[in-house]
Homo-oligomer: A and B are copies of this chain.
Amino acid sequence: MATETRGRMTAMPVISAKRMQDRIDAIVEAATAVFGAKGYEAASIAEIARAAEISDGLIYRYFSNKRDLLYRVLEAFYERVVAALEKEAANGATFEDRLHALIRRHLGNFVADRELCRLFLSEVRVASDYKGSAIQNLNRRYVSVLTALIEAGIGQGEVKADASPRLVRNVIFGAIEHIAWPYVNGDGKLDVDETAKAVTALIYGGIGIPAKT
């Protein structure tokens, strides 16, 4: 009887991998909207399910819990911006050009995805489960683009040899985040071009006029 198989039947999957991915995408999209609009706590699974036009329970087939869903929303976002930043890193003739491009791109992300940035800054990076998460890894990849640029700059003699790439990177990201936060939090504006230029100039050139000896 050739048609008899042993063990688990390997019939055609009832749902195609594509449809499954569509489901995940739909849920992530709905969750992105709801989390973005109301924040993590105020958002309810029921509302997300309604937005995705599925039942509450189905969310738990694809995501292990509400927190997991939040993380997946931000992972999807982070993957996108990491890829874009890595691509950006190649552009620019001089070190200063490249630095400016990265700073500009980073600032631009806050404008393009204000709500996801707020979600990340106010509900995830600050949380106890951030450490060791996939998001933290993505964040590391993101910031390492800048570290690499600085190291290259040192190697090329375009950056002071005693500059600490890690410190410079922290100063840049910290500065930008601080500047962008009021805007991200819904208060104030953010002029990407001008800010990028000003920050680049400051970091590159410092502010001091050495006392004449």
Contact = CB atoms under 8 A, between A and B. Distances in A.
A206 B206 contact: yes
Interface in A6-54: 7-9, 53-54
A140 interface: no
Interface in A139-182: 150, 153, 157-160, 163-164, 167-168, 170-179
Contact of A168 (B126, B173, B177, B207): B207
Interface stretch (A69-77, A82-90, A104-112, A195-203): A195-203
A167 B203 CA distance: 11
A56 to B, nearest CB: 12
A92 to B, nearest CB: 14
Given A126-B122, A207-B203, A53 B167 contact: no
B96 A171 contact: no
**Residue among A160, A177, A199, A208 facing the most chain B CB atoms (10 A cut-off):** A208
Nearest to A202: B171
A9 B131 CA distance: 39
Interface of A: 7-9, 53-55, 94-96, 121-122, 126-127, 131, 150, 153, 157-160, 163-164, 167-168, 170-179, 185, 187, 198-199, 202-209, 211
29 contacts: A8-B53, A9-B55, A94-B211, A95-B208, A126-B126, A131-B185, A150-B207, A153-B207, A157-B209, A158-B208, A158-B209, A158-B211, A159-B209, A163-B202, A163-B207, A167-B179, A168-B207, A170-B175, A171-B171, A171-B175, A171-B202, A171-B203, A174-B175, A174-B179, A175-B175, A177-B178, A202-B206, A204-B207, A205-B206
